[in-house]
Amino acid sequence: MGFVRRMDHFTIVTDQPEKTREFYAALGLNPGARPNFQVHGFWLYATDTPILHVIQVKDMPKPVRGGLDHMAFRAEGLMKVLEHLKAKEVKYRLTRAPEPFRTWQLFFPDPNGIEVEMDFDPSEEGPPGEIAVAGQMIRT
């Protein structure tokens, strides 16, 4: 019998709280209730669940703790997210997972340099005239 049932949340530390809040709000996460901790910060919610906890610091810790490679979200609206990222001049990488899944996988950095992955259903429309080659999107 295992103990873990599901992912609860990710926590990131930032010295750019407003930029971080705006970045994730544009992706659909909304600030919500948070306990009155002694450290400053906020919680960001997807529906009624706080999935991203943000801790505000004056200066980033040196060295940065942990080895978080990336955080992944299930998402909808691939083409709208791509338009948003292009408008904000956020560099991204779009790939498709191998067979049999074929999930669209979109990777890009947040304002703190943390890699964000958004996974989209394989049936969603992708960009015309582009294919994934070795994990990078190229024009055909």
Domains of the chain by range and CATH?
Answer: 1-64 (3.30.720), 71-140 (3.10.180.10)
Give this prediction's pTM: 0.81
CB atoms within 10 A of CB 92: 15
E strand residue ranges, the chain: 10-14, 30-32, 41-46, 49-56, 70-74, 93-96, 104-109, 115-120, 130-133, 136-139
pLDDT band at 68 (very low <50, low <70, confident <90, very high): confident
Q: What is the pLDDT of residues 2-41, one digit of tens each?
A: 856 788 899 999 999 999 999 999 999 999 999 998 889 9
